[in-house]
Each structure stands twice: as C-alpha cells, then as structure tokens.
Structure 1
C-alpha cells in the first residue's frame, strides 16, 4: 500500500507506520509505501495522523500512448471491484512526456472500464464524482502506470470534528505533522497563542491522549467495497481506543477574536476533547507564561496572504512577547512570509521547510531559556 503525505512529513509518517506495525516501509517523496493486510488498511486510515490518503495498488503496466493505456486498464478484471450498477470515479496524476493531461488520462481509463462492462454484461457502471462506490487512482510516472484503489475517499485531513472555521484555517494533517516534528508528545504543558478555530489544539490533545486521528470521521471509501468487513473494522477500532491514555498537563488556546474562540470551543467539543483543552479570548501580546515547568508552544500566525496585518510590527511583537514573557518555552510557529522572520529579532534554533497549501513555508523553533541564556538568541 501507499500512504500519501505532505512534503517534509515522510520521516514522521514512516515512524507512525512502524509504530502501528506496518511491514517493508519505504520512504519516497510525499509518499511512504508499506505492506499490511486488510485489518492494517483499516487501522492505517483510522490512526495515521500525517497521511492524506491510503492507496492500494492493484495493477501496473507500461504505456507510452493512449492505446497502450486503454489496453492496460482493460486487461484488469474490473468485476472484482465493481458491478454494472455501481458508481466510480478516477483520479489521475501524470508525470510523463508521453501523457500531458490528467483529465484525458482519466477519461481514457474510464472508457476502458465502461467498455469492458458493456461487452460482458450489456450494461455499464456510471460516474459519480461526489460519492462513488469505488474511487480509483491512476498514477503515471514516465511510462509506468499504477492503478490503485483509494481506500480513504475524501482526504484524511477531513477528521470530522471541524465544523466551524476562520478565514485561514490550517489543514489538520499539516497541524499534526508540525506537532510531531516539534517533538510534542504530551509530556508537558502546551499553548497555542493564536488558536483560530482550534485545529492545532485538537491535534495536540489527540497526540497527548493517543486518540486515533480519524476516530470522528464519518466514512472511509473501503466501507463501500465488496469485501467490507464491519466486524473486523469494529475490532480494529476497539483495539485502538484501548490505547487511549490520560493526560495530566494543560493544553491552552488564546485568540483575540471572540468569533474564533467560539468556533474553537465548538470544534474541541465535537472532538470530545473539552476535558483536556481550555480556550480563552486573549491577545497573545498582552499575556505571559502561566505554567511553572517547561512550556511547549506551537502556532500558525497570519502571513498577510489572507489577513490584513502590519507585518513588520506584528512579527516584532511576536519576538518581544516571547523574549520578555515566555522564559522556559520551546516556541514553534509556521510562516510562509520568509521576509517577516527577520523582524522577530530572535535567532531560530531550527528551520524546517514545509508547504502550507501551495505556499512554501518554514516551521521555525525558538528556544526561550530561563534567565541569562535567553540573551544568546537575540539579534
């Protein structure tokens, strides 16, 4: 099988798969391949925090032209996966000099499947782009064609708990990946000082309590498959829920917008995490550290892409607040405004290249030590 992810998350996704019990794990670019049975396929979809989709390859062949592509798709016995009364859709990804347009490739593959059914049964399955019985993934790399079943359906960042969002909500998989890259494991206090609709808070709480990432999700694509095993799915879900653990620290969120605070509280409640997360209406720049021990901070400040702010002053205030009010804090944030980073006035101890949608971004770490050590991070 193949798990798709964001650039920069391949290593942490591979670690997640190893922890879950996957075999033969191989990292690629934005993908990690692995082996597992049907039960593991269910488990991966429910539990993985940094996977966007889980694909199950079922057929591969070589093609350098339209006819070869058609014949290759036609060669597979599609009655194993579909009936003439079923619906399906094809998503195509193309990296090839032989094929230029993913839509054309998807159309050609669709014709092959439909023609096979029409020849064998006199009837044909139909296309449903929104809620198909089977979602097929076609990937062409140069002349190598891989046909896979999409086990997930909608992207796995659709966790199911987020019903209210703000202007610039962060993707749930991106939030979880940033938390894992920052070393967050639930063994301390956590703060998101610009929490928006609460996505980072929810993902932080689920990591801390070992709650499966997609436990609140309404459906997965494999639930419509011919070999769907409801009892096995329930067994896997129960075994994952038995690993949920208690959390003995604090997870706190601030936002200065009353509407954001309301939405964040709703989303945290939807995720059944209100026992672990506290959210209040506060301006980060007017706050100071309220916990005694080490504090883990991670947030997604505005970039100026979709929110109108005075960038230079805003980022300078981030640095001043960290420097003056948050000793003993491991502070992380993501920004796609690389120019604005220089105004923070602190030297990052780490910079990790990521993408927030199409925007190239950096996840940066500022280690705010207690006492005099803070001085070396200034300048």
Structure 2
C-alpha cells in the first residue's frame, strides 16, 4: 500500500506507519510504501496525521497503444471491488506516455470501466467528480500502468473540524507533520502565536490527547468497497475513542486579528477542544509567555501570502522577540524566503525543506538561550 504525503514529510510518514504497526515501510518521493492487512488499511486511515491519502494497488499491465490500454482496463473484473450502484471518479498521471493528455487518459479509463459494467450487469455506474463513492488512481509511466484504489476518498487533511479559514489557512496534514518534525514531546507547553484559524494548536491538542485525527470524518471510500468489513471498522473506531486521554499541557493560540480569533474559536469548538486550548487576542511582539519553558511554532505572514510593507523589519522583530521574550524555548518558523529568515539573526539548530501548497519553504528550529550563548571573554591580566 502507499501513503501519500507532502514533500519533506516522507520520513515522518514512514516513522508514523511503523508506530502504527505497518510492515516493510519504505520512504518514497512524497509518499511511503508499506504492507498490512485490511485492519491496517483502516487503522492508517483513522490514525495517520501525516498522510494525505492511502492507496491500495490493484493491478499493473503493459501496453503499447491507447487501444491496448483500453482493452486491459476493460478486462479487469471491476465488480469484484465495487458494485454498479456506486459512483466513481478517476485521477490520472501520465509521464512519457502515448497519452499526452491526462484528460483523455481519464476519459478512456472511464469508458473501459463503464463498458465493463454494461457488459457484465446491463447497467452502468455514474461518474461523480465532486464526491464519488469510489476513487480510482491511474498512474502511467511510459508503457506501464498501475491502478490503485484510493481508500480515503476525501483527502485526509479534511479532518472535519475546520469550519472557518483565514486568508491563507495551513493544511492540517502539513501542520501535524511540522509539529512532528519539530520534535514536540506532547508534554511541554505549546505556543501558537499568529495562529490564524488555529490549526497548529488544534493538531497539537489532538496529539496530546491521543485523539485519532479522523475522529470527525463521516465517510471514507473504503466503506463503499465490496470487501468492506463494517464490524471491524466500528471496532477500530471504538478502540480509538477508548484510547483518548483526558489532560493536555498548556496549549495557547493567539493572534491580533478579531476575525482570526473568531474563526479559531469556532474551529476549536468543532474539534471539541474548548477549555483545552487557551485562546487570547494579543500582539506576539508585546507579550511574554506564561510558562518559563516550552515549544513554539510560527507561521508568519510573508510577501507572497499576506501583504506586509515592512516584511524585513517584521522578521527582525521575530528574532528579537524570540531572544528576549522566549528564553528556554524551542522556537520554529516556516517561511518560503531564506532572505527573510536570515533577518531573524539567530543560528538554527535544525532546517527542513517542505512545501506549503506550491511554495518551496524552509522549516527552521532555534533553541533560545538565556542571555548570550557565547562564552564570556577572559579579562586580560
């Protein structure tokens, strides 16, 4: 099976799969492969914080022409995996192929599946691009084709708690992945200044509570498969509910924007985390943390995301605030512009390359020392 994730989170994805009990885990480009049974497929969909979707490979074949591709697709026994009353959609990738147009590749794939069902059942399944029961992944490289079923359906970052989003909301999977990359131990105080819609804080609280990230999800594509085991699925959900903890460390989300505060509050409420996350309207640059030690992750505005006339000065103030207001903290920041992060003026202890949407970003970690880290000069005699 394949767990898809963001570029930069492959090792996080692999580590998470191992922790869930998956076997033969191998990091790939923007993914990790693993083996497991039906229970593992369900478990990863329920528990993975770093995965975007979970694919189950179905079959592979070789072809030379577009017609030969169609014939191979049509011969596959699709009704062994889903029934004619289920809607479906197809996603395609074609690299160095006779299919130079992925839309045409999707069309030929659809034709083959519909024609198979029409021959086998005298009926045809509907195509539903927006909300299909079944999602089929067609990957073509040169003259090789791999067909997979997307077990997740909607991407797994759609946790179900986000009802309000700011002008540039952070993807939930990316937020969770960055928290895991940062090494937060789920016990130290966690600060989310410039919180926007509250994604970092919500993901951190769910981790600390051992709350399955798919707790609020209503639908998965695998529930529409022919071999779906509803009793197994419900037992895993009940097991996840029973595994939740009752306490969290100090988790604080703050922002200067009234609109962000209102959106974050609604999202926190939808996640059932009111009272677990402290929400305050305040200026990051003018406030100090209530805890003497902790963990901080910052997703500040930057030129391509939010207009800021004095963006370089803004980043200089971030470095100054880290140094003077957060001694004893581990502070992390994500930014697409290294010329800006250089303005922070601190030496990072860790650096990771990640993608935030289409932006190639750097995720930097700092250990903030009290006073100067440089040894005092010895007086001359």
Alignment match, 1:304? 303
CA contact (8 A) 2:208 2:249 kept: no
Q: Alignment partner of 1:32: what SS? A: strand
CA distance 1:331–1:361, shift in 2 (3 Å): same
Deviation of 1:241 (Å): 2.5
Identify if the C-alpha distance between structure 1 residues 116 and 247 changes in structure 2 by more than 3 Å, giving closer, same or farther: same
The reply to whether residue 137 of structure 1 matches residue 144 of structure 2 is no
Q: After TM superposition, give the deviation of residue 92 of structure 1 in Å.
A: 0.7
- RMSD over aligned CA atoms reads 1.6
Question: Could you tell me which residue of structure 1 aligns to residue 55 of structure 2?
Answer: 55
CA distance in structure 2 between the aligned counterparts of 1:223 and 1:82, rounded to whole angstroms: 10
Q: For the residues of structure 2 that align with 1:338 and 1:65, how far apart are their CA atoms?
A: 47
Other-structure match for 1:28: 28
Matches within 5 A, 1:276-295: 276-292=276-292, 294-295=293-294
**Residues 348-367 of structure 1 aligned to structure 2 (within 5 Å):** 348-367=348-367
**Corresponding position of 2:336:** 336
Matched, 1:15 2:23: no
Structure 2: gaps of 5 or more residues: 377-381
Do the aligned residues in 2 keep the contact of 1:186 with 1:247 (CA within 8 Å)? no
Is the 2:133–2:153 Cα contact (8 Å) retained in structure 1? no
Equivalent-residue separation in structure 2 for 1:68 and 1:283 (angstroms): 63
Structure 2: distance between partners of 1:226 and 1:279: 45
CA–CA distance in structure 2, aligned partners of residues 259 and 131 of structure 1:
30
Give me the whole-angstrom Cα distance separating, in 2, the residues matched to 1:8 and 1:353: 6
Q: Contact (CA 8 Å) 2:97, 2:140: kept in 1 or not?
A: no
- 1:138-153 equivalent positions in 2, closer than 5 A: 138-153=138-153
Query: Per-residue deviation at 1:284?
Result: 0.1
Structure 1 residue 24: deviation in Å?
1.5
Instruction: Find the aligned partners of 2:102 and 2:200 in 1 and give their Cα distance.
Output: 34
The 1:249–1:125 alpha-carbon spacing in structure 2 relative to 1, beyond 3 Å, is closer
Deviation at 1:43, TM superposition (A): 1.0
The Cα of 1:260 is off from its aligned counterpart by 0.6
Contact 1:53 1:150 in 2 (8 A): yes
Give, in whole Å, the separation in 2 of the partners of 1:241 and 1:225: 24
- TM-score normalised by L of structure 2: 0.94
Match of residue 369 from structure 2: 369
Aligned to 2:266: 266
Q: Which runs of 4+ in 1 moved over 4 A?
A: none
Q: CA deviation at 1:312?
A: 0.8
Distance 1:198 1:303 in 2: 18
1:234 & 1:43 partners in 2: Cα distance? 11
* Partner of residue 45, structure 2: 45
| Partners of 1:19 and 1:374 in 2: CA distance | 40
Partner SS state of residue 260, structure 1: helix
- The CA deviation at 1:214 is 1.1
Output one character per residue of 1:254-311: Cα deviation in whole Å (capped at 9) or x when no partner: 100111111111111111122321010001010113212x210012111221311121
Task: List alignment gaps of at least 5 residues for structure 1.
Answer: none
Q: Aligned-pair distance for 1:86?
A: 3.0
**How much does 1:374 deviate?**
7.4
Aligned to 1:227: 227
Q: 152-161 or 76-85: which moved more?
A: 76-85
CA–CA distance in 2 between the matches of 1:123 and 1:306?
49
Instruction: Work out the CA distance in 2 between the residues paired with 1:118 and 1:190.
Output: 56
2:43 is the counterpart of 1:72? no
Pairwise CA distance, 1:149: 0.9
C-alpha distance in 1 between matches for 2:253 and 2:374: 24
Question: Aligned pair in 2 of structure 1 residues 374, 336: CA closer, same or farther (>3 Å)?
Answer: farther
How high is the TM-score relative to the length of structure 1? Answer: 0.95
Q: For the residues of structure 1 that align with 2:372 and 2:246, how far apart are their CA atoms?
A: 35
